């Protein structure tokens, strides 16, 4: 059984203020580094075979911090780069709504394109790392796309806001992908009850 533990990258300054990042290559902020360290601390208790990451800085930094505690190969895969939002990148919600009231952003990657790309990446992981335990560090829209595809739309962006550094688990069994859980945050101290 191939299993993939999907981690959303830690927080960036743009996440903190609500700017749309897309493919803009923003690094983690101090909170994001701490979140990645908390992920590493939690994940080191389990056995892993490989870490796969999006090549964008915020995901790669998160993956590298996790790798310090989990000494397995780290591989970049372009298939998991964040959705491109074209002219809307770098804009706050109010700015996006004012500039593009119809919600269509010029030069934005289509939903079909990202779904095809990301699910091809999942298939590639299954072929390359069959029956292995894989950590995948990716982005909010990428992860939501995977979850929406595997849940036939039950889990999607309109219903679920993925928290920075959240964990979602999927596995391949009986010739199909299944979702074990998603948007898990119990490893993040910010969400622990005092």
Active site residues: 9, 82
For the chain, the C-alpha Rg in angstroms (whole number) is 16
Beta carbons of 5 and 167 less than 8 angstroms apart: yes
CA distance 81 to 190: 27
CA distance 28 to 57: 8
Beta carbons of 137 and 59 less than 8 angstroms apart: yes
CA distance 184 to 165: 9
Residue whose C-alpha is closest to residue 164's, from 25, 39, 4: 39
């Amino acid at each position: 059984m191939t299993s993939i533990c999907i981690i959303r990258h830690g927080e960036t300054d743009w996440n903190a203020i609500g700017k749309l990042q897309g493919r803009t290559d923003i690094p983690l902020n101090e909170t994001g580094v701490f979140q990645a360290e908390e992920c590493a601390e939690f994940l080191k208790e389990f056995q892993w075979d490989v870490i796969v990451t999006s090549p964008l800085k915020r995901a790669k930094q998160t993956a590298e911090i996790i790798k310090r505690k989990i000494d397995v190969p780290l591989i970049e895969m372009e298939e998991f780069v964040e959705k491109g939002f074209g002219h809307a990148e770098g804009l706050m919600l109010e700015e996006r709504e004012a500039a593009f009231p119809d919600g269509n952003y010029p030069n934005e990657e289509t939903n079909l394109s990202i779904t095809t790309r990301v699910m091809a990446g999942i298939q590639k992981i299954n072929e390359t790392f069959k029956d292995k335990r894989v950590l995948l560090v990716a982005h909010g829209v990428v992860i939501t796309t995977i979850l929406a595809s595997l849940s036939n739309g039950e889990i999607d962006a309109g219903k679920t806001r993925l928290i920075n550094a959240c964990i979602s688990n999927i596995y391949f069994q009986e010739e199909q992908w299944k979702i074990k859980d998603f948007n898990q945050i119990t490893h993040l101290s910010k969400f622990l009850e005092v």
